[in-house]
Homo-oligomer: A and B are copies of this chain.
Amino acid sequence: VQDDDLGGLRATRQRRAVLSVVEDLGVFSGARAVHEALEAGGHRVGLSTVYRSLHALAELEFIDSIRGEDGETLYRKCAGESHQHLLCRHCGTAEEFSASAVKALMEAWVSVGGYRDVEYVLEMYGTCPSCAFENDNRSC
C-alpha cells in the first residue's frame, strides 16, 4: 500500500514503516512485536516512536486496536467500521465477519434503555480449525 495521506500527520519514514509493518503482519500485534518486525525488516525505529505512531494511527482510525487478555494493546489493519472479530487463541488468526444481527440487537436495546452515542466491541475467542487439529494430534 502506498497511501501517503496520513490525515494531517507528517509522512515520516518511521510512521510509514510502522503502518506498512502493521499491514503486513495481518494479525493483531503489540507494539513490541511491531518493533521487532521493524528491526527484522531493517528499519530502525525507536520503541517510543512505535508507541506514538500506533497510538496516532489508531486515533485516526488507520488501524484498529483491541486489548489483549494480558493488557497489551494490539493493533491491526482493519477495514471495518464496527469491531467484530473471531480470534484464535493459539495462532492469533483473526477473522472478521459481519454481524448485522448484533448491530440491530444493540440498537434495539439502546433505544429501550435510553442510552446515547453507543459504541460496541464484540470479541470472540476460540480455537481455529487448524489449531484444533494440531492439538488433537499432539500432547500440548
Interface, chain A (partner B; CB < 8 A) = 67, 69, 71, 73, 86, 88-89, 95, 97, 99, 101-102, 105-106, 109-110, 113-129, 132
Contacts and interface: CB of A to CB of B under 8 A. Distances in A.
15 contacts: A86-B109, A88-B115, A97-B109, A97-B113, A102-B102, A102-B105, A113-B128, A113-B129, A115-B126, A115-B129, A116-B127, A118-B125, A119-B124, A121-B124, A122-B123
A69 B55 CA distance: 13
- Looking at A67, A102, A121, A126, the one whose CB has the most chain B CB atoms below 10 A away is A126
Contact of A101 (B105, B115, B121, B132): B105
A78 B122 CA distance: 19
Nearest to A121: B123
A11 to B, nearest CB: 28
Nearest to A100: B105
Nearest to A88: B115
- Looking at A114, A115, A129, the one whose CB has the most chain B CB atoms below 10 A away is A115
A131 to B, nearest CB: 9
Contacts of A122: 102, 120-123
Nearest to A67: B67
